[in-house]
Structure 1
């Protein structure tokens, strides 16, 4: 679900779930929402489970934004005649406060790379959706964490060219996240993500969903627990729409810009 102001550290850094890894990082990304008071410029992370944005400004309305892959839909690359390419998508809301039709976001990359990031994001969303369907996943109750359960993440949380099932455009996004600005919480991700190479994340399968119970053999349903509340999940989760590229290799950023000049 779309969540605001729950993925940042007071230092300005990003807070990841235990076992979550950073696949791509890019600075100076402009994020826009229908609610313009939430617009901001900052850092964008593609992780094994979601996209995470942390604001580089003092916008108290929006310090961070995150969206798990399984909840993203209507994802597309917009190529305006005048102006740079940008990624547009929607995220199913965590509560009706965000609107019944979901949260719409736009990602503008000030130094290029919208196409390459969009391809990786689309591949991640499709794989995470497939994992969600195979494990009969349904979202658990709203998930909150305690602010004091953060600690500095180990260097292995970001390594270029993770084996995540598709090629990462690390040649475009070659700058690593700033040291000392990545934190990890004690809780594991409450939703499915990508599997990386076992030697790079050996505890991933064991850490996936212990907070919400586990799937029982022969049981097509999964029970998630949050305190004293539990919910029985129907078997199928909605699959996000495919990225608007088709089967052909998309143009590079420069090619796309020249096409409309």
Structure 2
């Protein structure tokens, strides 16, 4: 969603207070089809971070006008995994801009994994998106870029949490944590709790949110689906709006029909 708001000095990444990095991958190649600006032109080489709230790309080319790009789960659409006969596997999809993100409209993207791991990364990203969607309020506030002072993040922020709750993270495929000097944090919190249902509800509270809903209500809020019988594809539907409110996503059965 946001352009050049998620990087810090020394090609580092900038995350929110309470956000944790699940996967760090140091050899990504990114391409965009978006607004006609220099930021989206050409191939982008750098690092990808999967966090409890989003994906973040940071460039390893200090001269590129695109130094970082944030992909909140709530703004991803039509994400798919491609496995070409020739060439590296890649993930593609659409990302929708939000107010305050330094760009407008929407863009298509492709993420090439030149050293493997696209399938595992895609499945993990989808699982994180599912969990984060269940914990969000009905109408989340805008995912505003971080503001205020920044500082080096403490170890929990850049180390994958090896607990039973996170047993879906492919630690064997992505065992490497980013160097501590690459990870910076702002005191600003994210607009929703992310993948952990036990996380505190981040302020400001949003009018109309109900954090005491039952499991079925949280399930209905999820916007992403994964069919184990068809792991090459994921389903992240376009936002359905009626009278200013987001409508419930299709049932799991309807979603899987789109994959088969």
The TM tier, using the shorter chain, reads: 0.7 to 0.9
Give the 3-state SS of the residue equivalent to 1:84 in structure 2: coil
Distance 1:240 1:113, change over 3 A: same
- 1:188 and 1:115 map into 2 onto residues whose CA distance is 30
Q: CA deviation at 1:247?
A: 2.0
Give the 3-state SS of the residue equivalent to 2:225 in structure 1: coil
Q: CA deviation at 1:5?
A: 0.3
Deviation string, structure 1 residues 110-143 (Cα, Å, up to 9, x no partner): 11100000010011111112222xx32x232462
Pick aligned residue for 1:247 from 223, 228, 250 = 228
8 Å CA contact 1:23–1:162 kept in 2: the answer is: no
- 2:167 and 2:76 map into 1 onto residues whose CA distance is 19
Pick aligned residue for 2:86 from 82, 86, 90 = 82
- 2:88 and 2:80 map into 1 onto residues whose CA distance is 14
Distance 1:120 1:145, change over 3 A: closer
1:37-76 map, 5 Å = 37=41, 39-76=43-80
8 Å CA contact 1:91–1:103 kept in 2: the answer is: yes
8 Å CA contact 2:92–2:111 kept in 1: the answer is: yes
- 2:75 and 2:222 map into 1 onto residues whose CA distance is 8
- 1:163 and 1:70 map into 2 onto residues whose CA distance is 25
1:111-126 map, 5 Å = 111-126=115-130
Deviation string, structure 1 residues 37-89 (Cα, Å, up to 9, x no partner): 26411111111100111110024421001111122121110112221210111
Distance 1:156 1:141, change over 3 A: closer
Per the alignment, residue 257 of structure 1 pairs with: none
The TM-score with structure 1 as length reference comes to 0.73
Gapped regions of structure 1 (runs ≥ 5) = 199-203, 216-220, 224-236, 252-261
- 2:54 and 2:112 map into 1 onto residues whose CA distance is 18
Distance 1:120 1:144, change over 3 A: closer
- 1:185 and 1:192 map into 2 onto residues whose CA distance is 16
CA RMSD of aligned residues (A): 2.8
Per the alignment, residue 231 of structure 1 pairs with: none
Deviation string, structure 1 residues 198-220 (Cα, Å, up to 9, x no partner): 6xxxxx31xx421x2356xxxxx
- Please, which moves more after superposition, 157-166 or 80-89? 157-166
Distance 1:114 1:179, change over 3 A: same
The count of aligned residue pairs is: 217
- 2:172 and 2:195 map into 1 onto residues whose CA distance is 21
The TM-score with structure 2 as length reference comes to 0.74
Residue 155 in structure 1 maps to residue 155 in structure 2:
yes
Gapped regions of structure 2 (runs ≥ 5) = 35-39, 211-219, 233-260
